[in-house]
Structure 1
Amino acid sequence: MKSDNDINAILTKLYSMRQFHIKLGLERIEKFLEALDNPQKKLKVFHIAGSNGKGSTASFIASILMAAGFKTGLYSSPHFVRFNERIQINSNLIEDEFIAEFYNKYEKYIIENEITFFEVTTAMAFDYFARKDIDYAVIETGLGGRLDATNLVVPLASVITSISLEHTHILGETIEKIAREKGGIIKQGRPVFIGDVDHAAAEVFGAIAEEKKSSIFFLNNFAEKGKDFVNLSLKNQRFHIYKTPLIGYHQLINCALALKTLNETLNINDGLVIDSGIEKVIENTNIQGRYEIISEYPKVIFDAAHNPEGIDTFLREFKNEADGYEKRSVIFAAMKDKEISGMIKKLGAIFDTIYVTSVGLERSASVEELINEAERAGINAIPLYEPAKTIKEFIMNKKNECLAVLGSIYLLGKLKSEINQFT
């Protein structure tokens, strides 16, 4: 059995692979999986891509599968606090021992072939799920779709949640180009389920589905969106969704997309099973950082809104309670490749005080860069170098105020880990 020091050393080696950066392409992962005897071919997979909502949708799918009695693997990224969160079966995280044994066994191959961090993690997940003989695997893409390391699966169904302009230097500078990359997960003859996308993206997906002879299901064709509910048309019934443990109207949409996928693919239609899967989504999947309430009074909200669409979604929900606070503050961080000034401008219209901090990764914008972007947007932002200390002091003041912490899951996880030490 490995000690904590051993697993920490292994994880340090894994994280060091980030020096290889993002290298889209399937050649390396394909050869690596062949060396593992192609574990992905032994899995029944639901494959999820999208600019926003893919983590929540994947969690709803996994939770409903678990409620139906299936042994379910869930692969997601990034993690919040522990690497192990990325790979889990029926809410149990992958064991340190498996991580260490896998890495030690293939370390020579990994180094010699410059396998990236995400490729190693993906191969590890596939191998773990295959060895554990799960019933179904719910696999979330990392970036894009067509050239994503997860895209060597032949899924039971593909799901694309949303499309927005993100990672444009990698995926393309138009909605159509990004949609084509995400649409790369649509496989020959396998159904695809599409969430809330605009007409341009829908046309791209429709064309790919036609070429692949895949049945395509658009959200707008099977879901009636009310002000605070979604009515869903399933095979032989209607289903009314008005609340989930994940806060926000957008989560009703994610839940509807997940449910339609399972109903069409596996004929899951038992109301008690569905209700249980929805109600236990957090417990079953350990999902965090989706309008997550860290403190009720004073109110502290953590949300992984990291691009303009995510900010819009967060603000649409937050406006429902914003007027109830004497003061509204936000701590914001972002990656360099995001449309930062536009996001800060949106936040400035709602929040009284805007703090900016850094995620601390190579791809993240520095505090100084964020200050400059705020100035471009005509917003006065305050630099923050010790955000955990600020959050702690805010909670201790016990005033009728609100503090939102928005940005990368990496930031939220780091801060959550730090504030857990004093809450």
Structure 2
Amino acid sequence: MHDLQSWLARLEQLHPTEIELGLARVSAVAHALDVQVPARRVITVAGTNGKGSCVRSMEALLLAGNHSVGAYSSPHLLRFNERVRIGGEEVSDAALIEAFEAVEQARGETSLTYFEFTTLAAFWLFKRADVEFALLEVGLGGRLDAVNLVDADITIITSVAVDHEAWLGSDREVIGREKAGILRAGKTFVCADPQPPASVVDIASKLGCDSYYVGHEFSLQGNHYRFDAKPELVLGLPALQLPPPSVAAAITALALAGELPGADQVCEVLENLRMPGRCQALQWQGQNLVLDVGHNPAAAEYLASWLARNPVTGRTLALVAAMADKDLAGLIAPLKEAVDHWYPALLPDNPRAAGEDQLLAGLAAGGVPVQQVNTPCMAVSSQLQRAAAALAAGDRLLVFGSFFTVAEVLQLTQEPT
């Protein structure tokens, strides 16, 4: 195969299930590839929300300090290449194909999921590039995720909330135990969850981790960051576009690694740091849009706080399309006071997406009055046009509910070049 899309289509068919947690198969292939140590220093990030923002923050800060960096995150929005970056740049199709060919040769008869295969490809690229730092975002959970085959020098948990219950469990203690599976005995651990589950604290203690918890060893109040361990550090930060707990965890991890750039550089980097799909503001056809991939109650609570901190003179309309297995009422409820009118939308080509009945039931259970809901439900493309036509001067349209929703709207709103 000579093109990336053909490879990706094939990878989707290699394994009988989309997800199969466990490290035995992927570890065996990693040994054959010799990628168990993909970089000289490794930082692994787990968490329900905020993982990608933490990785992006560390990446930008390390690049500002002239370090060589490989970053691996998922999922992508528009291009698979977004998942693997070296030196701050997405890797090319040709490089990915070369990596896929290497994994294919190494795996022999071993069956790998799409995520396992692509994770190994990223590790192969990082090792070949001899990057100083590999920043690895866990795909799902932690303990049994393919990323966890690597022993990280520093581990970070950004947050623990209920999501992916079918795979991780339905309470924070169980989910926390899964995420704490990335911790390693005697290594550094940074926790950005202000109320970490007891399971996380207990595992960190039993492993003898050098642990740092937000609200204890470090804090971020307003724009004031403080690290109270040695060496003590105080920073005045600019207004942040990414979730503050994730940024605080990134600063703390790099301070502990001894690689945080100077205060002026930190401020300059963070002031300009943006991430597609995370409270992303854009203009389309003269209208104000805000795109956010948030798809669980905790993400919706953060989104509501961001909207409150960034008010508009007019109304806020919302286009929401989500997966059927999500807590739809919990996704809606935190935003009901921030949104004036709702446009529930469908993703007809996605078998996991919620249908009209589920969306309307979620809106009702989330406390949205029926007169604020614009029906009938339509596909995202149709609802986008419908909602945009209703916008007046000073209004904005919020688009959220899933990566698929934001990805489709980004494609629809891209201006021709």
TM-score clears 0.5: yes
- Give the match for residue 193 of structure 1: 190
User: Which one of the candidate residues 9, 18, 22 is aligned to 1:21?
Assistant: 18
* In 2: Cα distance, 1:229 partner to 1:82 partner: 34
- Give the match for residue 142 of structure 1: 139
User: Which one of the candidate residues 217, 221, 229 is aligned to 1:222?
Assistant: 217
394-403 or 310-319, larger mean C-alpha shift: 394-403
Question: CA contact under 8 A between 2:32 and 2:106: conserved in structure 1?
Answer: no
Alignment gaps of 5+ in structure 2: none
381-390 or 171-180, larger mean C-alpha shift: 381-390
- The normalised TM-score by structure 2 is 0.90
Alignment gaps of 5+ in structure 1: none
SS in 2 for 1:20: coil
* In 1: Cα distance, 2:276 partner to 2:250 partner: 18
User: Which one of the candidate residues 237, 240, 254 is aligned to 2:236?
Assistant: 240
Question: CA contact under 8 A between 2:226 and 2:234: conserved in structure 1?
Answer: yes
Match status 1:184 vs 2:186: no
Question: CA contact under 8 A between 1:72 and 1:135: conserved in structure 2?
Answer: yes
* In 1: Cα distance, 2:108 partner to 2:79 partner: 23
Match status 1:301 vs 2:298: no
SS in 2 for 1:293: strand
* In 2: Cα distance, 1:411 partner to 1:71 partner: 33
- Give the match for residue 212 of structure 1: 207
Task: Name the CA shift for 1:108/1:140 in 2 (closer, same or farther; >3 Å).
Answer: same
User: Which one of the candidate residues 116, 119, 130 is aligned to 2:116?
Assistant: 119
Alignment of 1:239-318 (within 5 A): 239-244=235-240, 246=241, 251-268=243-260, 270-282=262-274, 287-295=275-283, 298-318=287-307
* Residue 120 of structure 1: how far off its partner (Å): 0.8
Aligned AA for 1:237? L
Q: Deviations over 1:318-368 (max 9, x none)?
A: 12344621x321011222332112222333333122122234433332333
Alignment of 1:21-420 (within 5 A): 21-40=18-37, 42-107=39-104, 112-198=109-195, 201=197, 203-226=198-221, 228-233=222-227, 235-244=231-240, 246=241, 251-268=243-260, 270-282=262-274, 287-295=275-283, 298-322=287-311, 324-325=313-314, 327-359=315-347, 360-377=349-366, 379=368, 380=370, 381=373, 382-392=375-385, 395=388, 399-420=393-414
Aligned AA for 2:205? E
* In 1: Cα distance, 2:39 partner to 2:291 partner: 37
* In 1: Cα distance, 2:293 partner to 2:83 partner: 16
Question: CA contact under 8 A between 2:73 and 2:136: conserved in structure 1?
Answer: yes
SS in 2 for 1:313: helix
* In 2: Cα distance, 1:388 partner to 1:288 partner: 19
Task: Name the CA shift for 1:153/1:377 in 2 (closer, same or farther; >3 Å).
Answer: same
Greater helix fraction, Structure 1 or Structure 2: 1
Question: CA contact under 8 A between 1:242 and 1:252: conserved in structure 2?
Answer: no
* Residue 401 of structure 1: how far off its partner (Å): 1.4
* Residue 179 of structure 1: how far off its partner (Å): 0.6
- Percent of paired sites with the same residue: 26
Task: Name the CA shift for 1:322/1:420 in 2 (closer, same or farther; >3 Å).
Answer: same
Q: Deviations over 1:79-111 (max 9, x none)?
A: 010000000012211111122233345447769
* In 2: Cα distance, 1:58 partner to 1:337 partner: 27
Question: CA contact under 8 A between 1:54 and 1:140: conserved in structure 2?
Answer: yes
Q: Deviations over 1:276-333 (max 9, x none)?
A: 4324434xxxx311110122853210011110000000001212344621x3210112
* Residue 150 of structure 1: how far off its partner (Å): 0.2
Q: Deviations over 1:213-242 (max 9, x none)?
A: 11110010134443x323312624311224
SS in 1 for 2:149: coil
Between Structure 1 and Structure 2, how many residues are aligned? 408
Question: CA contact under 8 A between 1:392 and 1:419: conserved in structure 2?
Answer: no
SS in 2 for 1:193: strand
RMSD between aligned residues: 2.5
Question: CA contact under 8 A between 2:59 and 2:69: conserved in structure 1?
Answer: yes
* In 2: Cα distance, 1:357 partner to 1:389 partner: 8
* In 1: Cα distance, 2:260 partner to 2:95 partner: 32
Task: Name the CA shift for 1:400/1:269 in 2 (closer, same or farther; >3 Å).
Answer: closer
SS in 1 for 2:115: helix
Question: CA contact under 8 A between 1:289 and 1:412: conserved in structure 2?
Answer: yes
Aligned AA for 1:315? A
Task: Name the CA shift for 1:276/1:70 in 2 (closer, same or farther; >3 Å).
Answer: farther
* Residue 127 of structure 1: how far off its partner (Å): 0.4
Task: Name the CA shift for 1:44/1:298 in 2 (closer, same or farther; >3 Å).
Answer: same
* Residue 267 of structure 1: how far off its partner (Å): 4.7
Aligned AA for 2:362? E
Task: Name the CA shift for 1:17/1:365 in 2 (closer, same or farther; >3 Å).
Answer: farther
- The normalised TM-score by structure 1 is 0.88
* In 2: Cα distance, 1:383 partner to 1:39 partner: 51
